[in-house]
Amino acid sequence: MLYPFLDPPYRMTMGLMPLDPAAWILVDDDLAADLAEKRRLLAERHAEVFAATPGAEPGSREVLHRLARHLALHHPALYRLDGDKLRRLTDGAAFDPADASLHPLDLAGRLVQEDLCLMRPEGESWVLAAASLCFPTRWRLADKIGRPLAPIHAPVPGFAATLGKPVERFFDRLGAGRGVWRANWGLIDDPALFQPSGHFRTDPAAGISAENVADKLWLRVERQTLLRLPESGDILFTIRILREPLAKTASDPARARRLAELLRTMAPELKAYKSITPFEPALLAYLDRQALDQAQ
């Protein structure tokens, strides 16, 4: 599990770190369950979780071939290349990059637990050209597909003023084959991976208290990577969802203390964006108690 809130005091920055090529894709014990959920969503709600614009095919094919080679090289106990086909050894499933029945990015998204978003240069910005997005965190693919970076991030407090131009410049300058990663976090009252809209299943003002907040909330972390594709020049943005019950997160007094400190210094508009404001008093009371009780 990643705990991004353990980093230095929160600032509105990209927070990018160099990506170890071998660690580009995370594979863990949730592989079978996560891929099964992807298959269900792609079968039942395909238009909600996959979209592509004209011209995205070359970059998407590059993603598919790159993923197949990466999985066979760095996860040989789980994947093997048989000629041009990738075979998943856990269930024997075979994936053919030449399969014309699926868009190449749709097929690529079925290989890994990550969601895949392909960004292409267009005019003076970068647009979301295609995406396999089965596990969104409070955003809908239909609202973002084909749009540039600025409107995509318009709901994020402070993004336009602080990060808009630096992000555009970073995308322009990211070297071919180079990758970076960052992590984002939030608290949510539903452990489901598919969270396209809304903030809560229930009214947070009625029912969440310091006594039960640990049972009702989950820490949800997005591990994000950015990789410039050498052939197409497009950029692949991956999102891997990691989550655990708040009770587990706060079982360590240092984590509980740090999370409470961060919440007390976080800008009100960011807390509202992360949907923390309605249950903040209950959350802080619980975290303070965890930090104090376990430190004694």
What does the pLDDT read at residue 295?
52
Q: Which residues contact 217 (CB under 8 A, 6 or more apart)?
A: 187, 188, 189, 208, 245, 246, 279, 283
Output the six-digit token pair for 25: 């894709």
Enumerate the H helices of 138-228 as residue ranges.
141-144, 149-152, 164-173, 213-216
What does the pLDDT read at residue 30?
96
> What pLDDT, in 10s, does the model give residues 59-99?
999 999 999 999 999 999 999 999 889 999 988 999 999 99
> What pLDDT, in 10s, does the model give residues 165-195?
889 999 999 999 889 999 999 999 889 999 9
What does the pLDDT read at residue 130?
98
The alpha carbon of 140 is separated from its chain's Cα centroid by a whole number of angstroms, namely 13
What does the pLDDT read at residue 97?
92
What does the pLDDT read at residue 200?
53
Q: Which sequence spans correspond to the domains of the chain?
A: 4-295
d(CA 285, CA 281): 6
> What pLDDT, in 10s, does the model give residues 204-228?
555 889 899 999 999 999 999 999 9
Averaged pLDDT of the chain:
91
Sheet holding 218-228, edge to edge: 17-18, 179-188, 218-228, 235-245, 115-122, 125-132, 50-52
pLDDT classification of 289: cutoffs 50, 70, 90? very high
Please state, for a pLDDT cut of 90, what percent of the chain lies above it: 77
The CA–CA distances, whole Å, from 269 to 159, 165, 212, 237 equal 12, 21, 25, 26
> What pLDDT, in 10s, does the model give residues 226-243?
999 999 999 999 999 999
> What pLDDT, in 10s, does the model give residues 95-105?
999 998 999 99
Q: Is residue 12's pLDDT more than 60?
A: no
- pTM of the entire structure? 0.93
- Closest residue by Cα to residue 191 from 256, 135, 259: 135
Please state, for a pLDDT cut of 70, what percent of the chain lies above it: 93
**Residue 17 φ then ψ, to 5°:** -130, 150
- For the segment 135-160, the average pLDDT, to the nearest whole number, is 92
What does the pLDDT read at residue 126?
97
